[in-house]
Amino acid sequence: MIRPILRYGERDLHRASSEVAVFDEQLQGLVDDMVETMYAAPGIGLAATQVGVPLRVFVIDLSVGRDPEGLITMVNPVWIEREGVQLEEEGCLSAPGFSATVVRPSRAVVRGLDRAGRERTIEGTNLLARAFQHEMDHLEGTVFIDRLRGIKRDLIVRRIQKLKRGGRW
């Protein structure tokens, strides 16, 4: 089932998530829904907080469904390593139509559990490292706009507020 994606400014999107304690049918349904929602958007990553579920779960697929082996599901992820710096344009399914250059690590290692509860550690570089940081931020209640400073952030926030006032957000 495709779930609605929360947008920047909605309270639940900006709250930190809780650890998953039970690997049951409800979690499996959530992961299935998240994957379907991510592909339908279309996007390369989605955190549970973006669909209004405050759990530490994210899915990433850089191939956007073209490579069956490309889907990564992480439950209760934690950072193992982050290094280097990359500056690339980035957008978000929770801020459609907006993008900005964000500082991200060029290499990142994340450890967590897959949807069956098996431990896995994944190293990502370049786009995957950026996607890891982006989704991990969501699990802490942070959207890429929150990482911006100065006029760029102010312009985006003001445009979103204007869209809200006009009923288009």
Catalytic residues: 135
DSSP letter at 48?
G
**Alpha-carbon torsion, ordered 67, 70, 71, 77, to 10 deg:** -170
Which two three-digit tokens encode residue 133?
A: 């940081």
What is the 3 state secondary structure string of 70-116? CCEEEEEEEEEEEECCEEEEEECCCCCCCEEEEEECCEEEEEEECCC
Total length of the chain = 169
